[in-house]
Amino acid sequence: MHTVSANGAHIPALGFGTFRMPDEDVQRVLPQALKLGFRHVDTAQIYKNEAAVGDVLKSSGVPRDEIFLTTKVWVDRVGHDAFIASVDESLAKLKTDYVDLLLLHWPQSEMPLADRMGALNELREAGKVRDIGVSNFSTALMAEAVSLSDAPVVTNQVEYHPYLDQTKVIEEARKTGMSVTAYYLMADGKVPQDEVLKDIGAKHGKSAAQVALRWAVQQDDVIALSKTATESRLQENLHIFDFALSEDEMAAIHALARPDGRIVNPGHLAPKWD
């Protein structure tokens, strides 16, 4: 598996995401993912499964320094002390002294962005966090976050799939050396049924899902999160580095984007999107 380098961070290009994954699924599927070779694990405070992730990582036999671990601070951690305490709580649940990457989960919060970026920097200086980033930020907010941070911002984790054009966000990220981490790549189940993606996959002996994952990681500075509660699909998701899409195939997938392609858009959390 290749890695994406972003402002000094080296992030495995394919991650195992745990969004909406209850503890029992984490405990059943994540050990298999690690055995197969996944080394990038993504969780968040609001997922309510950090402790289960921590249990699996602790008992996996995989050295901690071989795993790239991401978690995210939720928007209700308001005030410096509450913010810092929430990260200490996350570390305790994850059974580790540090996370490789800590993100602000959404831009909207009663805690000013300057204060949240300051807290991220403080945690990094304390060694509790190796690198910092943001999630669901617009290009304007990305630029603001970068300007407010002494430490480099290494990623913006956003919804990204063939039906949503994120060109502006990706280009803005590249300007400052950031990566983009793509979530919701299966577009709520639309991708596996897409005829264009299935036809492209057939030419490579791959599934539509594998084509979408490959499309993401084949783009410079893009990291893909995959998620499945089905153990048999883990192997499929991992096997996306043994083929390449042609320029025409990449263009055909980009052409699937549409103006109403966004799926995740909670009004009380979302920014004004690009």
Give the integer Cα–Cα distance in Å for 3 and 11: 5
| Catalytic option among 47, 160, 163, 183 | 47
Dihedral sign, Cα of residue 252, residue 274, residue 108, residue 41: positive
Establish whether 80 is an annotated binding residue: no
Pair of tokens at residue 159: 């919804």
Give the integer Cα–Cα distance in Å for 166 and 131: 23
Tally of CB atoms within 10 A around 143: 15
Task: Please report which residue ranges of 99-244 form alpha helices under DSSP H.
Answer: 113-125, 139-147, 167-175, 195-204, 208-217, 231-238
Nearest by Cα to 29 from 167, 166, 229: 229
Instruction: Please count the helices (runs of H) and the strands (runs of E) in the chain.
Output: 10, 10
Q: Are 14 and 40 in contact (CB under 8 A)?
A: yes
Tally of CB atoms within 10 A around 260: 7
The label of the residue with tokens 């264009």 reads 196
Pair of tokens at residue 170: 């990706």
- Annotated catalytic residue 47: yes
Nearest by Cα to 137 from 121, 148, 151, 122: 148
User: Tell me, what DSSP letter sits at residue 152?
Assistant: P
Binding positions: 105
Binding positions for substrate: 105
Q: Which positions are catalytic?
A: 47
